[in-house]
Amino acid sequence: MSHPYAGKIAPKSILENIPQLIASYYTQKPDVFESTQQVAFGTSGHRGCATKSSFNEDHIFAITQAMCEYRLSAGITGTLFIGKDTHALSTPAQLSTLQVCVANGVTCRIAANGEYTPTPVISFSILEANKTANKLCDGVVITPSHNPPSDGGFKYNPPNGGPADTDVADFIQKRANELLKNNLSEVKKVSVAKALQSDLVQEYDFITPYVLALKEVVDMEAIQTSGLKIGVDPMGGSGIAVYQKIKEIYKLDMDIVNEYADPTFSFMTCDKDGKIRMDCSSSFAMASLIGLKDKYDIAFGNDPDFDRHGIVTPSVGLMNPNHYLSVAIWYLYSHRKMWSSELGIGKTLVSSSMIDRVVDSIGKKVIEVPVGFKWFVDGLYKSALGFGGEESAGASFLRKDGSVWSTDKDGVILNLLAAEITAKLKKDPGQIYQEFEAEFGKAYYERIDAPASPEQKSILKNLSPENITSKTLAGEAIEGVFTKASGNGAKIGGLKVSSKNGWFAARPSGTEDIYKIYAESFISLEHLRQIQEEAKEIVLSAIS
């Protein structure tokens, strides 16, 4: 059941107290023996809240020092590209990062005039620099993604441009926590003033090279000449200037709403739980743009760091991310004539099986991996994957000539691709997905949560197929039980069970005493509910 505020403009009573939040960043100190206040690199770096002592100046000092030490050990001595989003804690955290980087002799590039830089632009910049640099370059994006305004985040992208792999993240996390426990005695830092005056800190135009190159990955000319009326909601995020530059350079008929940064995000409609959350895959958070759907031929939005996409069409409104991934994959592999016929298609194991059915129909190959975009980085970097996408509305793909574009999620190109599809095919992606349903069947997909103790979560994370004794799932014979991803053999950290017309996957939460159940049926909503109930029984039997 949704909250009374869901889908409505956030009332002033719930807006974040920004001065208090920033004061907490500088004044509150983490308890290094309290697990919730330690550095914890999840699938997208460290995230936390200053008022909860989980994202404070000490955390950033420690993380940045650990990152500098990792760079040294890995022989990475080139420029560090630093981006930030529009969350209130991102600017203070960027200053803290520069204090430590300068003290460690690291050359940094930041946007001029305190401007913002999206995740995909940092990935693009790293890859472009490393084509000609004689020293390896890497990057940082200071963002908690779509999290509420109270949160901050820090993620590191090594020279391959993508999210840090597990070994790198583990190194930084472990070393950062050691530094915190030693009262930061081994952290090198200079004053903010000295950092900003240092020759090591260079201002840089990230946006223009990225926007100029967009024509190499998306058919911008087709969009330009189509006469499409386009609506964009950057959701007050880091890519407002990106869309402004796109509009300027490519002369698109594009309206940009919420064309300003506001750290309270007061223009947002609240998410399902009544909180402000800039989730461009949520119909509640995207309610404002959905309300304008009939005004535009195609519309889209992004989360604050622009690594996620949200597609709004006249035919269906906000597209389910799984539905759009299916359309994007079909279109790209049918229309990118310069792409190798051998290019794989990367999907996470909790993404819709509609993707498999669509891919099978065009004679291509799916590479199924665990949850986390990091699993696509190597394939995109080496042009072995043409596309990599997650069920949570994050994806990227290759340039038109089959070379790498970005190895992190790029919400801008996924949005522009929706415009290209509409321009070239004279129908929007929602209409195309309706054709898929007519051909391949209707998919019923949902993610729910179920309770689990820390002990049960640990067991679930380490299950083997032999632990599952059930032979059927919702009336169908079980065809596969997996605790490793079929595409790369990596551990799921849970399990996936599949039948002819349905499947479920179960993974423990990293922060709460719950586990997540992803499930899908190609029969009916009732069949989906049956899968979900039996999934709970199967998991409980295995972990009890």
Active-site annotation, residues: 145
The answer to whether 405 and 526 are in contact (CB under 8 A) is no
Report the alpha-carbon distance of residue 320 to residue 173 in Å, rounded. 34
Q: Which residues contact 73 (CB under 8 A, 6 or more apart)?
A: none
Residue 270: which region, alpha, beta or left (left: phi > 0; alpha: psi -120 to 50)? beta
CB atoms within 10 A of CB 185: 7
Cα 37 from Cα 44, distance rounded (Å): 17
CA 396 to chain centre: 10
E strand spans, 488-528? 491-498, 502-508, 514-521
How far is residue 264's CA from residue 22's CA, in Å, rounded to a whole number? Answer: 12
**Nearest-angstrom CA–CA distance, 350 and 338:** 30
Measure the CA dihedral 306/312/316/320, to 10°.
0
- Kindly report the number of other CB atoms within 10 A of residue 175's CB atom: 20
Buried (b) or exposed (e) across 202-220, using 16+ Cβ within 10 A?
A: eebebbeebbeebbebbbb
- Render 158-179 in DSSP notation, one character per residue: -TTSSPPPHHHHHHHHHHHHHH
The token pair that represents 522 in the structure block: 């190609």
Which structure tokens are listed for 491? 């551990």
